[in-house]
Amino acid sequence: MQGDLKVFSGSSHSGLAAGIASHIGMPLGKARINRFSNENIKVKIEENVRGADVFVVQTSCPPVSDNLVEMLIMLDALKYSSASRITAVLPYFPYARSDKKDESRISITARLVADLLQTAGADRVLTMTLHAPQILGFFRNPADQLMAHPILINYFRQKNLSNTIVVATDAGSAKFAGHFAKRIGTPMAIIDKRRTDDTESPQSVALIGDVNGKDVIIYDDEIATGGSIREAARILRDFGAKEVCVGVTHGVLSGNAAEVLNKADLDELVVTDTIPIAEPKLSSIKNLRVLTTAPLFGEAIKRIHAGLSLSELMEA
């Protein structure tokens, strides 16, 4: 049996952390985070955590590297404050874009981050919709991956899906798009997306499946620059799609994504709140809807604390 449950928040997404704590029915733990003039970060845990079962919520959003280092320092501070078990809760996992050795002389940064989290003191990890599922295997300690599927599925089920088809933006997202389509009872199609380099300018070159006259839900794990969604929407309209909606877990929305997405002529863009979307971006993106993940993370934390299974949370 673990000690008292406590939830702390880093500075990346205090709104989500507060929502998680509120779902559990407890206040956030007290910690003070200071930045010195030389940009060094100092964390002080301002309550007793000796013997406690502690969860620290920190997502990956700008400044990405600072937020990661802040998380490492929080974990270290909690370890030295004698918490009995520490779970790093990473709604959007940092540095996940490099997850395999597919080029010479590169770092597998997702594995490096897994090593750093463990070295800093994380006994467990809780995350959501990884860019690649094999990242879970980079941890020697237990790691749980939640999927946003139940949240997205509950939302899209409220619509008339009788003429709907789910479309994966590329082969990489096809497996999970297939699960998603099966759960909402629709067929699926796959776009052949090509990237020639790291310029984040993909091209949709072909479509496998028939979208003519159909309402489409484009499925993907994340929107970064919006290039993949723009390309997907373009090819789907070319092939006669009617309504084009998007269901994505992580709304990274980097650079001029808002502009790119607004030009893509989407009927609805649904993301979750694993990453904070601040004003003016929030209201500048047309037809954007943000669904909260706080109850799902809160429930997962309660179950991990009580030693219960998380499998049911994957269902909708």
Binding site for ligand R5P (CB under 6 A): 169-170, 172-173, 200, 202, 220-228
CB of 194 to ligand R5P, least distance (A): 11
Closest contact distance (angstroms) between CB of 223 and ligand R5P is 5
Strands 164-168 and 215-223: parallel
Nearer to ligand R5P, 120 or 248 (CB): 248
Spell out the residues 6+ positions from residue 281 whose beta carbon is closer than 8 angstroms to its own.
253, 258
Distance of CA 216 to the CA centre of its chain: 22
> In the numeric block, which tokens belong to residue 302?
């309660």
Q: How many residues does the chain have?
A: 316
Q: Measured from the CB atom, is 52 or 257 closer to ligand R5P?
A: 257
193 belongs to the catalytic site:
yes
SS3 282: helix
How many angstroms from the chain centroid is the CA of residue 14?
Answer: 16
Catalytic residue among 193, 263, 286, 302: 193
Spatial strand order of the sheet with 124-128 comes to 5-9, 53-57, 85-90, 124-128, 143-146
CB 59 within 8 Å of CB 66: no
User: In angstroms, what is the minimal distance from the CB of 91 to ligand R5P?
Assistant: 16
Q: 129 and 150 in contact (C-beta within 8 Å)? A: no
Closest to ligand R5P by CB, 199 vs 309, is 199
- Whichever of 21 and 148 has its CB closer to ligand R5P, that residue is 148
Residue 252 C-beta: closest distance to ligand R5P, Å: 7
Catalytic residues: 193
